Amino acid sequence: MLSLFSAVLLSGSVLCVSTAQPGPQTTGMKVERNVPYVEKGHPNQVLDLFLPEKPSDKPLPLMIWIHGGAWMGGNQANPPVLYLMKKGFAVASIQYRMSGDAQWPAQAHDCKAAIRFLRANAEKYNLDPNHFGVGGDSAGGHLAAFVGTSGDVKEMEGDLGHPDVSSRVQAAVDWFGPTDLLLMGQQSGPNSVEQHDDANSPESRLLGGPVQEKRDLAKTANPLTYIDKSDPPFLIMHGDNDQIVPLAQSVILAKALIDAGVEVTMQTIPGAMHEGPEFHTPESQRLIEEFLSRKLKAADNQAEKPAVQK
């Protein structure tokens, strides 16, 4: 496959750490909120599904968003990719168990269960089961990258609902997600706002103890652990002024994917902080839309094996 590793200037301005995004604009959409993807499961094992108000005459490619929040907070109500609805996509947004409720790999099991649920119900919702993309920001970016590299990895699937259905996706979008939790502390610069190896860091809370004391478990949470040439194409976006998740976390992921022969577009945004507004500009939206259209809409872009059966 063609590999692309590039940095493109979207904006040179210095940003705040985070910016509030407007509530979801659902005009022209049919929205199903808090759909359980695990029968009689945890209250967080739900998703929101956004479909065209006017039914499509053919199954739609699906973009699945996983929210951030340090694995400790956040919700699925306002995915930043709803603009894709105007481009011929359906959108789903996953909620999952927080680290205060369950430690790793519960979050991975939830995301995979949600994908399997959507694929198992593809006909009901008029979705194309062979053209699923996944994306996420920060902790959600980590989970999106993990899902992208660990599709159908048996030991990481969990046993929540629809075990006969594949969790593979056909494209992955990672916004400034952590990857190797063991390296985050040493990769952080002097202005980092997180002490990643501290016992109270988000990473340590995810693993149930100080990161460096949970090395084996941390390796199971690392998307790089599962990379092989069958992984889907990736779009990775990260600001070079991120003081929460080091840019190096995305760089090592991109390099490992490229070394394995996976197609990668790496977009480094000069000046952008964590969750900066550059990720929501028309330029960023166009980049994501064009990437997903190429990978999820092309007539010859079929899953390498039947998507519904493992």
Sequence spans of domains, the chain: 29-296
User: Which has the closest alpha carbon to 56: 79, 90, 17?
Assistant: 90
- Tell me the whole-structure pTM to 2 decimals: 0.89
Q: pLDDT value at position 191?
A: 87
Contacts of 123 (CB under 8 A, 6+ apart): none
- pLDDT, tens digit (0-9, with 9 covering 90-100), for 210-240: 999 999 999 999 999 999 999 999 999 999 9
Instruction: Say if residues 308 and 166 touch (Cβ distance below 8 Å).
Output: yes
How far apart CA 123 and CA 169 sit, in angstroms, is: 17
pLDDT of residue 20: 38
The pairing of strands 46-52 and 60-66 is unpaired
Superfamily name with CATH number, domain 29-296: Alpha/Beta hydrolase fold, catalytic domain (3.40.50.1820)
- Write the pLDDT tens digit of every residue in 102-149: 999 999 999 999 999 999 999 999 999 999 999 999 999 999 999 999
**How much is the pLDDT for 304?**
45
DSSP assignment of 172-230: EEEES----TTTHHHH--TT-S--TTSTTSHHHHHHTS-GGG-HHHHHHT-GGGG--TT
Low-confidence ranges of the chain (pLDDT < 70): 1-25, 298-310
List beta partners, residue 237.
175, 267
Q: Where are the beta strands (DSSP E) in the chain?
A: 29-36, 46-52, 60-66, 90-94, 127-137, 171-175, 234-239, 264-269
- For residue 25, the model assigns a pLDDT of 63
Residues 6 or more apart whose CB falls under 8 angstroms from that of 185 comprise: 195, 196, 197, 211, 212
